[in-house]
Amino acid sequence: MSVKIRMTRMGRRHRPFFRINAVESKTPRDGRILEKLGQYDPLEKDADKQVVINKERIEYWIGQGAVASDTCAEIFKKYGITCPQYEEKQQRRARARVIARKQGKPFTEAERNAIVKAAEAAKAQADAAAKAAAEKAKADAAAKAAEEKAKAEADAAAAKAAEEKANAAEAAEEKTEE
């Protein structure tokens, strides 16, 4: 029989408190308990009343090989009770974090989200830069087309003026010949 030390939710809706119990590992969260070891009220404002534990019995069960849940182990740590399995888990996690950082991989969900967010921001910035470059190219092309059109109109106007001048000269020449 493997024993776990974990919490059972009690209280009413939106007003929870938890009992810290020693239970068989295969029983459900609110199932049969072996022994009540204390209680935890997260909504209690007074820190002394927030956690009430039977330190001797908790140490007894841990000595017998009971495994505390992570939440219970954190609470016990505040009161000077060590849980060897929890400490080993924390050490393994710290080593895994160091390895992940050396490899440049994200370790937590928050780090993954930050990387995704940074990639999206970089993509948005690249898209904005590409859009700005396309707009600038389009504006340059429009300006060049307008410049060419103006030049063509000026050339056409100059050619028309030269033609009119030539026609006027011919007309004047015809008048002088008459």
Q: What is the pLDDT of residues 133-178, one digit of tens each?
A: 999 888 888 888 888 888 888 888 888 888 888 887 777 777 776 6
Secondary structure (DSSP) of 37-97: EEEE-TT-SSHHHHEEE-HHHHHHHHHTT-EE-HHHHHHHHHTT---HHHHHHHHHHHHHH
Q: How far apart are CA 170 and CA 178, in angstroms?
A: 12
pLDDT value for 1: 62
- What kind of fold does domain 3-103 have according to CATH? S16 Ribosomal Protein; Chain: A; (3.30.1320)
More confident residue, 62 or 30: 62
- Residue 76 predicted with pLDDT over 70: yes
When pLDDT is averaged across residues 73-102 and rounded to a whole number, the result is 92
Q: How high is the pLDDT of residue 23?
A: 95
Distance (Å, whole) CA 137 – CA 157 = 29
Q: Would you say residue 111 has pLDDT above 80?
A: yes
User: ∠ CA 9-11-17 to the nearest 5 degrees?
Assistant: 55
Average pLDDT of the chain, as a whole number: 89
pLDDT of 44 over the 80 cut: yes
Lowest mean pLDDT among 6-20, 62-76, 149-163: 149-163
* Residue 150 backbone phi and psi in degrees, to 5: -65, -40
**pLDDT given at position 178:** 62
pTM of the model as a whole: 0.61
